[in-house]
């Protein structure tokens, strides 16, 4: 699809910026370059086309594509380690072949609706292409990716049409047309959610129009004096980072999905970035926003550091997951690019010592921008993903291992690793490093070096491709997360692991499930814990059904152990059945009443957050035990 031509920013946006801060020399960046043809995204799974893990006949694994460090290098250790960790004989030649693309339902589009839409939108801004429609109807839950690759029968409903509006005015026109023709509208940002948020309600009989926001991707203005920028909701994280950096600024928001996810999506899901210790979560970064809703266009006259004015557009839209309207732009805080960025890594005797270190770090110091602690299993996995060393580097690595295990007595099957990213002025970073190292010593931590820190941090982007890779080899995997008070961090991790092991054993699942935890975000009262879970499913009669049972069991255990429904992934449709366990009936009634008031026609009928669910679905589902 063609993208909108560049051109001057509508004058009213500049006027709006000037009204906010008269006399300030506002920067109006040029429109971002069209997405490089060299960076197409794949449609049948996560990430960039041409990137991904591959199992060679030799048994070595290789990360294809030149984007990430450590790619195109044979990793001989991964497969043996997976075999051992999962206690399964994985045969490189035994592949579960993908049948992507599945057959998808025909679009149901009344001609009158199409006619109006074609008039309201520029040429080339509508498509009924089946692959595009399919892509706009799912995120990245295990069930969704399994469905598009292996089991098209799980796809009963996808958007009937995808549209690419250029402007908030066109979105307002879409809502008006949707109202006249009783169609549903579903905003689409990066499509990276893992909550079934984009999955269309099977019972939805009305036409479903996916509203792709990729053409609303401009930085409207940068106010360098007050350090704010107005950015359109479809701006993608990696582009935004690059464009702001040209002016010496950063937003500092780096969720694991930052390569693909968008500003609007971050707001709609309460996103959290890996560097939130320094820059804050999305609710700390967004000062103001605009949206198109069933009641009209929400906007605010100015942008202020803080306000007590009852109404707060942000509060209504944060975490709304597409169910209340379409966010079109936001004013965000900016930070100067850090003078210094440094990585480090620490090893701890065990996960518990690492947690104790994080606890003290969150209270006694201002923690570095990013601090993440992985448990032993994840540490072992990261070691197998390390390109093999040779010559002097190999000797050095062996020596280090000897020091850690023999001299310091760390057990290879117990130790945990922590990666750190420092950002700030040289002076601040020096002071933070001093404080961190002193604290690490108190907890028996060993420094493992900047290289390991950098690798550990950047591994996130590579690891995201692992799930799709192992799926080819009959392994189902997923990540999930929670927030939990400090006192519960360690027990929650243990309980979730134990529960999943027990549930898998009870179901006779072959081998051993893979369950691993890391602590990724620190707060004064607690932390975010992030899990990976995988198991070998070949031979199971209903692998996805089994997976869903197990995932529910894990969430059940999280809630029992004092964890939250989610830290930053959200609810979507995946976890809405749990809402009655977490909120009082009156709170649920408020939520429903609010939705009803703000979207009386259920125009934004994607069904996320809704306990009752879409029409046709029983309002009272049995609550999990």
Residues 6+ apart with CB under 8 A from 281: 270, 271, 272, 273, 568
Q: Which position among 127, 156, 167, 226 is part of the footprint of a second copy (CB under 8 A)? A: 226
Phi, psi (deg, nearest 5) at residue 257: -95, 15
If the CB atoms of residues 4 and 569 are measured against a second copy, the closer one turns out to be 569
The footprint of a second copy on residues 11-30 (CB under 8 A) is: 19-24
- Distance separating alpha carbons of residues 284 and 282, to the nearest angstrom: 5
Minimal distance, residue 333 CB to a second copy, in Å:
6
Catalytic: which of 422, 530, 532, 536?
A: 530
Question: Does residue 225 belong to the site contacting a second copy (CB under 8 A)?
Answer: yes
Q: Which position among 11, 38, 57, 301 is part of the footprint of a second copy (CB under 8 A)? A: 301
If the CB atoms of residues 400 and 592 are measured against a second copy, the closer one turns out to be 592
Phi, psi (deg, nearest 5) at residue 179: -70, -45
Minimal distance, residue 559 CB to a second copy, in Å:
7
Question: Does residue 583 belong to the site contacting a second copy (CB under 8 A)?
Answer: yes
In order of 144, 216, 244, 249, 395, the CA distances from 337 in angstroms are: 38, 25, 9, 5, 37
Minimal distance, residue 203 CB to a second copy, in Å:
21
Question: Does residue 520 belong to the site contacting a second copy (CB under 8 A)?
Answer: no
Question: Does residue 200 belong to the site contacting a second copy (CB under 8 A)?
Answer: no
Question: Does residue 625 belong to the site contacting a second copy (CB under 8 A)?
Answer: no
If the CB atoms of residues 353 and 482 are measured against a second copy, the closer one turns out to be 482
Q: Which position among 40, 124, 248, 296 is part of the footprint of a second copy (CB under 8 A)? A: 296
Sign of the CA dihedral running 275, 239, 382, 473: positive
Question: Does residue 302 belong to the site contacting a second copy (CB under 8 A)?
Answer: yes
How does DSSP classify residue 516?
E
Minimal distance, residue 277 CB to a second copy, in Å:
12
Question: Does residue 318 belong to the site contacting a second copy (CB under 8 A)?
Answer: yes
If the CB atoms of residues 296 and 539 are measured against a second copy, the closer one turns out to be 296
- Distance separating alpha carbons of residues 607 and 611, to the nearest angstrom: 9
Q: What is the DSSP string of 565-580?
A: S-SSS--TTTSGGGHH
Q: Is 530 a catalytic residue?
A: yes
Q: What is the DSSP string of 138-162?
A: --S-HHHHHHHHH-GGG-----SEE
Phi-psi label, residue 124: left if phi above 0, alpha if psi -120 to 50, beta otherwise: left
What mask, x for binding a second copy by CB under 8 A, covers residues 253 to 292?
Answer: ----------------xxxx--------x-----x-----
Q: Which position among 180, 227, 441, 617 is part of the footprint of a second copy (CB under 8 A)? A: 227
154, 155, 160: which is closest to 210 by C-alpha?
160
* Binding span for a second copy by CB under 8 A among 86-94, 155-163, 362-370, 539-547: 362-370
- Distance separating alpha carbons of residues 346 and 609, to the nearest angstrom: 39
Residues 6+ apart with CB under 8 A from 527: 358, 362, 483, 484, 486, 489, 519, 520, 521
Question: Does residue 585 belong to the site contacting a second copy (CB under 8 A)?
Answer: yes
Question: Does residue 62 belong to the site contacting a second copy (CB under 8 A)?
Answer: no
**H or E element in which residue 563 lies:** none
Question: Does residue 559 belong to the site contacting a second copy (CB under 8 A)?
Answer: yes
* Binding span for a second copy by CB under 8 A among 118-126, 207-215, 294-302, 613-621: 294-302
* Binding span for a second copy by CB under 8 A among 104-112, 201-209, 484-492, 538-546: 484-492
Question: Does residue 485 belong to the site contacting a second copy (CB under 8 A)?
Answer: yes
Minimal distance, residue 367 CB to a second copy, in Å:
13
Q: Are 559 and 581 in contact (CB under 8 A)?
A: yes
- Distance separating alpha carbons of residues 453 and 459, to the nearest angstrom: 10
Q: Which position among 525, 616, 623, 624 is part of the footprint of a second copy (CB under 8 A)? A: 525
Q: How many residues touch a second copy (CB under 8 A)? A: 96
Rg (CA), the chain: 24
Active site residues: 530
């Amino acid at each position: 699809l063609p993208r909108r031509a560049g051109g001057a920013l509508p004058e009213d946006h500049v006027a709006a910026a000037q009204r906010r801060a008269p006399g300030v020399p506002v920067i109006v960046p040029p429109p971002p370059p069209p997405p490089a043809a060299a960076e197409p995204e794949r449609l049948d799974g996560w990430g960039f086309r041409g990137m991904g893990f591959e199992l060679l006949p030799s048994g070595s694994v290789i990360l294809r594509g030149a984007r990430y460090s450590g790619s195109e290098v044979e990793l001989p250790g991964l497969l043996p380690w997976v075999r051992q960790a999962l206690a399964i004989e994985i045969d490189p030649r035994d592949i579960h072949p993908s049948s992507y693309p599945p057959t998808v339902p025909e679009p149901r589009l009344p001609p009158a609706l199409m006619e109006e839409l074609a008039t309201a939108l520029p040429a080339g801004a509508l498509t009924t292409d089946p692959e595009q429609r399919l892509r706009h109807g799912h995120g990245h839950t295990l069930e969704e990716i399994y469905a598009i690759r292996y089991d098209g029968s799980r796809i009963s409903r996808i958007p009937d049409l995808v549209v690419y509006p250029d402007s908030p005015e066109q979105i307002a026109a879409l809502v008006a047309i949707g109202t006249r023709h009783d169609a549903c509208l579903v905003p689409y940002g990066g499509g990276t959610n893992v909550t079934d948020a984009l999955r269309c309600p099977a019972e939805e009989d009305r036409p479903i129009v996916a509203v792709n926001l990729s053409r609303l991707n401009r930085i409207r203005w940068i106010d360098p004096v007050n350090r704010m920028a107005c950015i359109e909701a479809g701006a993608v994280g990696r582009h935004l980072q690059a464009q702001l950096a040209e002016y010496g600024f950063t937003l500092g928001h780096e969720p694991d999905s930052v390569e693909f996810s968008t500003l609007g999506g971050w707001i709609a899901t309460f996103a959290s970035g890996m560097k939130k210790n320094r820059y804050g979560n999305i609710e700390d970064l967004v000062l103001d926003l605009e949206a198109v809703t069933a009641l009209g266009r929400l906007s605010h006259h100015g942008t202020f550091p803080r306000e007590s004015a009852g109404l707060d557009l942000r509060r209504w839209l944060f975490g709304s997951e597409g169910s209340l309207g379409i966010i079109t732009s936001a004013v965000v805080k900016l930070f100067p690019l850090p003078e210094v960025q440094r990585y480090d890594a620490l090893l701890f005797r065990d996960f518990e010592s690492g947690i104790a270190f994080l606890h003290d770090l969150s209270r006694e110091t201002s923690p570095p921008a990013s601090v993440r602690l992985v448990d032993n299993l994840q540490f072992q996995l990261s070691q197998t993903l390390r390109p093999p060393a040779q010559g002097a580097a190999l000797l050095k690595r062996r020596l280090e291992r000897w020091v850690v295990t023999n001299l310091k007595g760390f057990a290879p099957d117990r130790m945990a690793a922590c990666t750190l990213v420092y950002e700030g002025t040289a002076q601040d970073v020096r002071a933070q490093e001093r404080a961190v190292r002193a604290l690490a010593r108190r907890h028996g931590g060993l420094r493992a070096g900047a290289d390991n820190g950098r690798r550990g941090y950047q591994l996130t982007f590579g690891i995201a491709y692992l799930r799709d890779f192992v799926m080819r080899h009959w392994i189902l995997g997923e990540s999930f997360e929670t927030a939990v008070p400090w006192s519960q961090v360690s027990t929650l991790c243990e309980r979730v692991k134990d529960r999943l092991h027990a549930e898998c054993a009870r179901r006779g699942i072959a081998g051993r499930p893979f369950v691993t935890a890391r602590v990724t975000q620190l707060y004064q009262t607690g932390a975010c814990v992030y899990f990976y879970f995988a198991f070998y499913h070949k031979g199971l009669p209903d692998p996805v059904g089994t997976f869903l049972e197990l995932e529910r069991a894990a969430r059940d255990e999280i809630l029992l152990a004092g964890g939250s429904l989610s830290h930053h992934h959200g609810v979507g449709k995946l976890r809405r059945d749990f809402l009655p366990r977490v909120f009082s009936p009156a709170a649920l009634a408020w939520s429903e009443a609010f939705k009803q008031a703000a979207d009386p026609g259920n125009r934004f009928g994607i069904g996320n957050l809704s306990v009752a669910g879409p029409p046709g679905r029983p309002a009272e589902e049995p609550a999990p035990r």
